[in-house]
Structure 1
Amino acid sequence: MAIDFVVEFCHREKTGIITMRVSPIVDGAKWDKSIEVQGATADALDAALRPKLLAAVARYEKAEALKQLAQQRLTALKTELGIRGE
Structure 2
Amino acid sequence: MPLSAITPEGTYDIRLDEPAPFNYVVETKRNVSGSQVMEVARELMEKDAVAHAANWSDIEPAYVPSAYQVKVFDVSGEWPVRVPFQL
TM interval, shorter chain, is 0.3 to 0.5
Looking at secondary structure, tell me which structure has more helix per residue.
1
TM-score (normalised: structure 1):
0.40
